[in-house]
């Protein structure tokens, strides 16, 4: 959405947006965000993972032309790649953008494809964070599927966040509970990721994702044995989140 007049800094706009939409539903946040001049040009970033169908459906019934960015790290499960194609067709997405690291960058920094064994943060930066940063350059805001119930660094999520002073992150599902997700999937008859039935409630790259036992934190299968809970796409104060958010007085 082009603008003809100067707008407030990102942090100030985020404060106003959270105050304005504090008591709205997820659907209402999306509806208002798509037309709010304080937000601007929006893309949805989707991993096409275990719960991605919910937001993809919400967007598709409003405007199938909204850009959807999918990061193909080239280390994803085959099931995820097949699911991505199935959902894109099912929802009729008209602007799906497949984002990958450049072959030059991969040849320079991960020629043998084993960087994840040596430095998972560097691997995520190379295959996820850097390509997404380039892909998001034309946008003022992006929609994520993060939720408070995922705990850790996500426990204090609001609907809107400031990504440094660059753009706004929108978390329409921030206040949803696990049962809300299940109900929406069932009520709208949404296709499920095939790995969910095999014990994968949170799905990332194949080498860094393991099944989770019933009752465990759904994200505990990501980067098992490492002091790491985010891939680096989501930052606070310009830094990758590795543990719980610090409390702000």
Positions marked catalytic: 231
Q: To which residue do tokens 């799906």 refer?
A: 96
Q: d(Cα 87, Cα 193) in Å, to the nearest integer?
A: 10
Q: d(Cα 80, Cα 46) in Å, to the nearest integer?
A: 11
Q: Which helix (H) or strand (E) holds 79?
A: helix 78-91
Q: Residues 6 or more apart from 134 whose CB is under 8 A from it?
A: 99
Q: d(Cα 40, Cα 22) in Å, to the nearest integer?
A: 19
Of 52, 134, 62, 137, the C-alpha closest to 94 is: 62
Residue 210 · residue 201 · CB < 8 Å: no
Give the phi and the psi of residue 152 in degrees, each rounded to 5.
55, -130
Q: Residues 6 or more apart from 164 whose CB is under 8 A from it?
A: 10, 235, 237, 238
Q: d(Cα 33, Cα 218) in Å, to the nearest integer?
A: 29
Residue 185 · residue 53 · CB < 8 Å: yes
In the sheet that 68-71 helps form, which strands lie side by side, from edge to edge? 96-99, 68-71, 42-45, 141-143, 167-170, 160-163
């Amino acid at each position: 959405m082009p603008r003809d007049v100067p707008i407030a800094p990102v942090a100030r706009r985020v404060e106003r947006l959270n105050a304005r939409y504090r008591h709205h539903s997820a659907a209402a946040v999306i509806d208002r965000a798509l037309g709010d001049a304080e937000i601007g040009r929006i893309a949805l970033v989707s991993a096409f993972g275990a719960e991605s169908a919910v937001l993809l459906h919400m967007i598709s019934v409003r405007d199938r032309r909204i850009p959807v960015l999918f990061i193909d790290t080239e280390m994803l499960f085959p099931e995820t790649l097949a699911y991505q194609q199935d959902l894109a067709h099912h929802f009729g997405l008209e602007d799906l953008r497949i984002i990958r690291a450049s072959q030059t960058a991969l040849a320079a920094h991960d020629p043998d494809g084993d960087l994840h064994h040596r430095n998972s943060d560097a691997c995520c930066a190379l295959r996820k964070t850097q390509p997404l940063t380039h892909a998001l350059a034309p946008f003022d805001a992006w929609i994520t599927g993060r939720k408070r119930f995922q705990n850790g660094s996500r426990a204090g999520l609001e609907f809107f966040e400031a990504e440094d002073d660059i753009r706004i992150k929108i978390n329409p599902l921030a206040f949803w509970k696990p049962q809300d997700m299940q109900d929406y999937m069932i009520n709208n008859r949404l296709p499920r990721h095939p790995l969910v039935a095999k014990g994968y409630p949170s799905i990332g790259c194949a080498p860094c994702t393991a099944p989770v036992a019933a009752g465990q934190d759904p994200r505990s299968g990501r980067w098992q044995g490492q002091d790491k809970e985010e891939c680096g796409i989501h930052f606070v104060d310009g830094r990758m989140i590795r543990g719980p958010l610090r409390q702000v007085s």
